[in-house]
A and B are shown apart, each in its own frame.
Chain A
């Protein structure tokens, strides 16, 4: 029987992995299990088996991929939610196991057939991978696989990963405070260069993001001018996002930015320039000054909550 192993780096990835697993099981009739690197798995997800490595932090790819490979030899497929970390580790894993890989799967069309974006999302390619010994390695876009599982998991067993690496992690930047991950958030509020400086960006864009329980994002222009941190950059050369609600404030809508947001369910554009290209893709457009609009929205949302 075919078997999918969802490889999750942290518990927050398990539910979206469960959704992907159920889409895959519907196509193959196979079973899915879970291998979780850090933390404990939730009770639900419909996984036949859960393996927990119990690591306190995710090791570097060089060493981690080699340590994981022996635990995945029985799998038909190994899948993680797409992220820079997943691509770093899983492409190395595919190399260690000498197996093919498919990045950024959007739809599962068959046991070895998937739809994925190419050329910065301008086109969607349906790809078929020839059967070869060993698992097929996959990363998938979270957008297509949302929801909550109510199916309990099977038994949990601890596993021990012996990770040794020649690479030394010298330092790690601070993790962003409190806000959800940009690529997995259900709401994203993004700002462009009109936000002026980092404090204004944090107050105006960050404030509305917090009122919506969402993530803050930024254009490449805002990042390049030091208004927002690198990891907040949304677009072809930054993060690809697909939230339920994307609010673009002071964002003109460059091609490269649009490539990163077009799979969002609802796009809102707020801009003083009525001719900005962002309005051509926005479900709701509001031609106004973001410095009026965002604080108003924030106040009304916070008012409704208290």
Chain B
């Protein structure tokens, strides 16, 4: 099986971010970057599939700035066989990312695209289903468990109410949720092996971006209110602010 794992370079999801001085973007100076955590879960799942079936080939692809090479090297160290960087320096929307991925998929012809449910910076959760639709492939989003069968996948996916299990024929797009697995730490041999694995650059198709960020502001903060000391005091306070009748 051939698996394509899209990898997004994102600002460290545990770092505090702030708007730029002109309020047009997020200030990325001095920030660290990493693989989008949900993409890392997807890559881990691909590596586990390969451990069970050594004929599996994993191709990591990143659409974004040239610094994404750093995250692709990490993907190779985790277990991807090769990597492709499609360089787009500007902010992209989901349609543009989807169009770039489609061009890669047309050449690589993977059986499965395994990716995060969303990125932790843009938080859109769009590319997986958009890509599946453009390819005319079935999709399973929010995957919590994945089993490979002959020509198909059985995916337990998280839903608003709990969980459901889908059986989808390949080729397909699967987006991964938090509970699918815990990505491994990268061991030194992996890092050394990664240096000799191929990382190719591919020219972008230059798909147009329709979304412009015209402003970025801090979300309004909250401050500590008052302390109460009894159930009656709390219930009275809640009635006085109108959240309890």
By a CB distance below 8 angstroms, the chain B residues around A255 are 14
Nearest CB in chain A to that of B245: its residue: A304
State A124–B19 Cα separation when bound (angstroms).
Answer: 9
Q: In the complex the two chains form, is B98's CB within 8 Å of A95's CB?
A: yes
Q: In this assembly, does B167 line the interface, its C-beta being within 8 Å of a C-beta of chain A? A: yes
User: Contacting chain B: which of A25-33, A153-161, A283-291?
Assistant: A283-291
Decide if A121 touches B215 in the complex (CB within 8 Å): no
Q: Would you give 24 A-B contacts (Cβ < 8 Å), ordered by A?
A: A61-B141, A62-B137, A87-B125, A91-B126, A91-B127, A91-B133, A94-B133, A95-B134, A100-B94, A103-B125, A123-B216, A127-B214, A130-B211, A170-B164, A176-B162, A187-B243, A230-B144, A230-B163, A231-B158, A237-B178, A266-B241, A281-B224, A284-B228, A286-B227
Question: Given contacts A85-B159, A104-B123, A123-B17, are A266 and B213 in contact (CB under 8 A)?
Answer: no
Prevailing SS type, chain B contact patch: mixed
Establish whether residues A132 and B210, one from each chain, have CB atoms under 8 Å apart when the complex forms.
yes
With A124-B217, A125-B216, A283-B225 as contacts: A84 and B141 at CB distance below 8 Å: yes
Residues of A within 8 A of B (CB): 60-62, 65-66, 83-85, 87-89, 91-96, 98-104, 113, 117-130, 132, 165-176, 181, 183, 187, 212, 229-231, 237, 244-245, 255, 262, 265-268, 279-288, 293, 296-297, 300-301
Residues of the B chain whose Cβ atoms lie less than 8 Å from the Cβ of A88:
129, 139, 141-142
If the complex has contacts A91-B125, A285-B227, are A120 and B234 also in contact, measured as CB distance less than 8 A? no
Chain A residues closer than 8 Å to B226, beta-carbon distance: 283-285
- Give the residues in chain A near B244, CB-CB below 8 Å: 212, 245
B35 interfacial by beta-carbon distance below 8 Å: no
Give the residues in chain A near B237, CB-CB below 8 Å.
Answer: 284
Tell me if B29 counts as interface (CB < 8 A to partner A): no
Residue contact A92 to B139, C-beta cutoff 8 Å = yes
**Least Cβ–Cβ distance between A121 and chain B, in angstroms:** 6
Complex CA distance for A171 and B192, rounded to whole angstroms: 44
Does A98 lie within 8 Å of B134, measured CB to CB?
yes
Q: How far is the CB of B124 from chain A (nearest CB, A)?
A: 5
A170 cross-chain contacts in B, Cβ below 8 A: 154, 164-167
| A61-B129, A123-B17 known; A231-B219 Cβ under 8 A | no
Q: Which residues between 158 and 195 of chain B lie within 8 Å of chain A, taking CB atoms? A: 158-169, 178-179
Known: A95-B129, A98-B134. 17 other contacts (CB 8 A): A61-B129, A62-B137, A62-B139, A65-B133, A84-B160, A91-B133, A95-B132, A120-B123, A122-B16, A123-B219, A126-B216, A166-B169, A168-B167, A173-B163, A230-B158, A283-B241, A284-B238
- B121 in contact with A118 (CB, 8 Å): yes
Closest CB-CB distance, B56 to chain A, in whole Å? Answer: 23
| A128 contacts across to B, CB distance below 8 A | 211-212, 214
Contact A245 B238 (CB under 8 A): yes
Say yes or no: A120-B130 contact (C-beta < 8 A), given A100-B210, A167-B138, A297-B231: no
* Distance of B10 from chain A, by nearest CB (Å): 9
A117 lies within 8 A of B130 (CB):
no
Pick from A60, A61, A124, A231: contact of B161, CB under 8 Å: A231
Evaluate contact between A175 and B130: CB separation under 8 angstroms. no
Asked if A62 and B132 make an inter-chain contact with CB atoms under 8 angstroms apart, the answer reads: yes
- Tell whether B229 is near chain A: CB-to-CB under 8 Å: yes
A30 to chain B minimum Cβ distance, whole angstroms, is: 20
Bound Cα distance from A265 to B179, whole angstroms: 30
- Bound state CA distance, A127 and B222, in angstroms? 24
With A132-B210, A171-B164, A283-B225: A103-B134 Cβ-Cβ less than 8 Å? no
